[in-house]
Amino acid sequence: MSTPTPSTSTLILPPRFTDDSIVLWRHAMRSGRRVERLASWRLPESLYQLEGNICVYGEPLFTGHVASSLGLTLLEPKLDWLTTLPETYVQRSIHAMTMGEARAWKERAFFKPADDKSFDAKVYENGTALPESADFPDDLPTLISEPVEWRSEFRCFVRERRVEAISPYCRHGEICKEEDGDYPFLNEEEGAAALEFAETLLSDQTVELSPAVVVDIGEIEGRGWAVIESNPAWASGLYASDPDGALRVIERACVRSTQLTKDDTPGAWRKPRAATD
């Protein structure tokens, strides 16, 4: 593990304890950050008086609630980001559309919600097999991609086009967590290959990228390295990622709305999600 980066920022964590939030909590304390583990979704008055950097980590409804309350903007990737990438970086066909349009898709494909985890991301025989209820309206952003087999999958925490932390998390469709809780690389060659592909992608200035984001990459059977998806850093699991690097990305992904600059684009952000206490 790398030496913690000294910081005076404040990390806000949700009431619900998770392995990742505990790791970030302990590491943030060691590195000199202030940590606020909330007892409920009701924010204490002291948080409204904080100066300096504030970042939040947790599930999207919680982070959205905190961001809305404290005037933060949460940076995240564009919903259709995958479809903007050159074919060499995705190695498969990908389409962005609404749920209503996806229901008319006639071929077997991998369907996933572009915005959150509202329905199971998996291979469906066609669009008519998608779940139907009021929770899945016709305007729900949806991604459809050609089914492929992933040999391995890796998570990259990225800040200003630099990989700050990287971890494997899946091989041949199975989570690669060992009994001690670690997610190790098979060997140095595997780690070097993953990092090389990630750095090639990030160095390509034709690729639009949020200043702080998680990019998942992997190797497709018979095709080679490709981007799997992107996710907001403030809600992404760590796996075995270096927590100091992950924290640097999470901090960059949380910006006071009054301090947004042109450097915070082209990553798209949405209005904070509404939530109740």
The token duo for 62 is 């919680």
Give 186-194 contacts, CB < 8 A, sequence gap 24+.
Answer: 190/152, 191/166, 193/219, 193/225, 194/152, 194/154, 194/166, 194/168, 194/225
For the segment 229-257, the average pLDDT, to the nearest whole number, is 96
The string of pLDDT tens digits covering residues 13-43 is: 999 999 999 999 999 999 999 999 999 999 9
The token duo for 190 is 């595997």
Q: What is the pLDDT of residue 265?
A: 62
Radius of gyration of the chain measured on its C-alpha atoms: 19
Q: Indicate the pLDDT class of residue 277, thresholds 50, 70 and 90.
A: very low
Q: Indicate the pLDDT class of residue 3, thresholds 50, 70 and 90.
A: low
For the segment 78-101, the average pLDDT, to the nearest whole number, is 95
The string of pLDDT tens digits covering residues 154-192 is: 999 999 999 999 999 999 999 999 999 999 999 999 999
Q: Indicate the pLDDT class of residue 71, thresholds 50, 70 and 90.
A: very high
The token duo for 143 is 């991604």
CA distances from 17 to 22, 23, 59, 149, 182 (A): 7, 10, 11, 33, 19
Asked if residue 2 has pLDDT above 70, the reply is no
CA distances from 228 to 79, 93, 219 (A): 13, 12, 9
CATH topology of domain 148-241: D-amino Acid Aminotransferase; Chain A, domain 1 (3.30.470)
> Would the CA dihedral through 22, 254, 121, 172 be positive or negative?
negative
Higher pLDDT, 268 or 25: 25
Report strand pairing: 54-56 vs 122-124. Answer: unpaired
Q: List 150's β-bridge partners, or say none.
A: 220
For the segment 185-201, the average pLDDT, to the nearest whole number, is 97
d(CA 151, CA 161): 25
- Domain map of the chain by residue range? 93-145, 148-241
